[in-house]
Amino acid sequence: MESPVDLERVYEKKPSLLLKGEHSLCPGCGEPLALRAILEVIQELGRERDAVCVCGIGCYTAFPSLMDVDVIQAIHGRAPSVATGAKRMLPENLVWTLQGDGDMVSEGLQEVIHSAARGEKITCVVLNNAVFGETGGHMTATTVPGQKTKTTAKGRDVSVHGYPIRIADLVASLDGASYVARGAVSTPAGIQWTRQILTDAFRDQIAGNGFSLVEILTMCPTDWFVEPKDGPQWLEDNLARYYPPRVLKSIEPER
């Protein structure tokens, strides 16, 4: 366990775009780690003043008050379309969505698919914990086979509920997508990898190549029915096996 001094050092190194370290999410939640990684990358790229976040609906909807960036709040599932409008009006800005798997894949699948197919020059970030965390922990379109949720008490049965949607793989198949990758925040190495693919996705947008998407696997021990300390291992044993972190697509524009 880290000492108070170590924790103070971690806090002191927080990116200036993160206004405070405290948040209202459950103990062991992985979404604050993902947020910190995103803000660190934006700061490192020097895009603090022109970054625009379009926030979806989920537990992470509490984050706008913690971020020193411009934020547009979208209704459930519609963040990619709102981001499209923002980017077309502000083509030089760094426009990105912050969404969950419930928001993007269950509620707004058509929005992200059509935005990617059009090659909109935005970056969509999806925090995938495979449950509707904010509304009670029921199954989403990314809940993995056998996973227990509030609405799949005996585990997701593909013969009844169908198969999960691998959103990153689906987007990568579209011609308008130029960069697609998946990361996780369950280990220090995973966080470092996630920071790298976020950097590459934002650079892809800055270069004007096309649509980019980063999927980040995050912990939700409350709705996985495990102790907070066991969340990272549960992610590794379950989500990461079905959604392995990797770059799914990276293309250079035609010269």
The domains located in the chain, with CATH, are 25-250 (3.40.50.970)
Give residue 11's pLDDT.
58
Give the residue among 95, 104, 132 at the shortest CA–CA distance from 224: 132
Residue-averaged pLDDT of the chain:
93
Token pair of 53 as six digits? 């976040």
Q: Show the tokens assigned to 56.
A: 């979806």
Tell me what pLDDT residue 171 has. 98
What is the model's pLDDT at position 191? 97
| pLDDT tens-place values along the chain, 255 residues long | 445 556 566 556 778 888 887 788 899 999 999 999 999 999 999 999 999 999 999 988 888 899 999 999 999 999 999 999 999 999 999 999 999 999 999 999 999 999 999 999 999 999 999 999 877 889 999 999 999 999 999 999 999 999 999 999 999 999 999 999 999 999 999 999 999 999 999 999 999 999 999 999 999 999 999 999 999 999 999 999 999 999 999 987 554
Question: What are the C-alpha distances in Å from 174 to residues 199, 218, 253?
Answer: 21, 25, 15
What was the pLDDT predicted at 35? 95
- Contact, 58 vs 103, CB < 8 A? yes
Q: How many CB atoms lie within 10 A of CB 248?
A: 19
pLDDT, position 7: 53
Contacts of 164 (CB under 8 A, 6+ apart): 130, 141, 142, 143, 144, 145, 156, 242
How crowded is residue 71: how many other Cβ atoms within 10 Å of its Cβ?
16
In this structure, the number of other CB atoms found within 10 A of the CB of residue 189 comes to 10
**115 vs 119: CA distance, rounded Å:** 6
What is the percent of the chain where pLDDT is above 70?
94
